[in-house]
Amino acid sequence: MKHFLFKRFYWLIICLSLITALFLKGCKPLTENTDKEEWIFLFNGSGIDKWTPKFTGSELGVNHKNRFVFKDSLLSVRYAVKDTFEGNFGHLYYKQKFSHYKLKATYRFVGDQMTGGPGWAFRNNGLMLHCQDPTSIGLEQDFPISLELQLLGGDGVNSRTNANLCTPGTNVILRDSLFIPHCVNSISDTCHGDKWVEVEALVLGDSLIQHILEGQVVMEYRKPTIGGGSIIGYKESAYQEGIRLKEGYISIQAETHPIDFKSIQLLNLCGCMDKKAKNYKSYFVKADNSTCKY
């Protein structure tokens, strides 16, 4: 009899342990993985249907001479052998705007610059941050109101910094002073050749923007505003001088030199900051509790 009671007690303990484990497991999703970063791919080799082109002189959505290309799992800029530059710079815009985020891109320059391209555009592209809404861009506008993280390649001989800053239609605070000129060099080394390069940006609304190359912060600035000129063909309604740039779209360029992008990914730093929510993340820096899931 004692042996029978012992076996019943033993199995009762096992069952209670299983029930407790299942209960605790059911509670875990509210708190686990709050530190795990959830990067999203703006481009990951599966097409460019989430991107929209705009070329100077062409309507939004027209891929002038098919210069933005998706082939061999790469997002590329290409030019026909007999094509000649006629001032039609291009930009390709991601469908969604962001305010607080980390951006990471892997790219390489290839081939020769198209005929007639300006000298400064040799091995030159850019990640355009805080871009104006592409629907507000003028037909003949050359560059969007934005902050450009320049992607620059060397010629194999001369020094040329990478991840510089250019400011089409914008001003920034650089080293505690208002920066009005169009471009300023970073403190990076030169990236010669056709090797893959990884570049990053940290964008915190209008409070801080950093350009990062090979893990090193090579450029930092704050408080971007509309102004400064350095663009033409814009609509007066979009160029509201002095307005702070707190968010915007992301675009890449077609500036007369072929380039390949292997991946472009983003970590959104804006989201649910209620610790009771299932989608709370500890790395969020700006609250958008309308996205919370319970």
% of residues, the chain, pLDDT over 90:
86
Q: Which amino acid is at 138?
A: G
The Cα-based distances of 291 to 100, 204, 272, 274 in angstroms read 15, 19, 6, 10
Q: What is the pLDDT of residues 93-150, one digit of tens each?
A: 999 999 999 999 999 999 999 999 999 999 999 999 999 999 999 999 999 999 999 9
Which residue, chain included where needed, has tokens 């800029």? 77
* pTM of this prediction exceeds 0.75: yes
What is the pLDDT at residue 4?
A: 45
Q: Is 24 exposed, middle or buried (0-12, 13-18, 19+ CB in 10 A)?
A: exposed
Query: How many Cα atoms occupy the beta-carbon half-sphere of 176 within 13 Å?
Result: 0
Q: Is 256 exposed, middle or buried (0-12, 13-18, 19+ CB in 10 A)?
A: buried
Q: What is the pLDDT of residues 179-233, one digit of tens each?
A: 999 999 999 999 999 999 999 999 999 999 999 999 999 999 999 999 998 999 9
Cα 163 off chain centre by: 13
Coil, helix or strand at residue 226: strand
Closest CA to 40 of 262, 266, 199, 261: 266
The Cα-based distances of 230 to 150, 173, 180 in angstroms read 15, 17, 10
Statement: residue 15 has pLDDT above 80: no
Q: Are 168 and 233 in contact (CB under 8 A)?
A: no
Q: Are 208 and 222 in contact (CB under 8 A)?
A: yes
Q: Kindly give the pairing relationship between strand 216-226 and strand 208-213.
A: antiparallel
Closest CA to 63 of 54, 51, 72: 54
Q: Any idea how long the chain is?
A: 294
Assigned token pair, 52: 């929209």
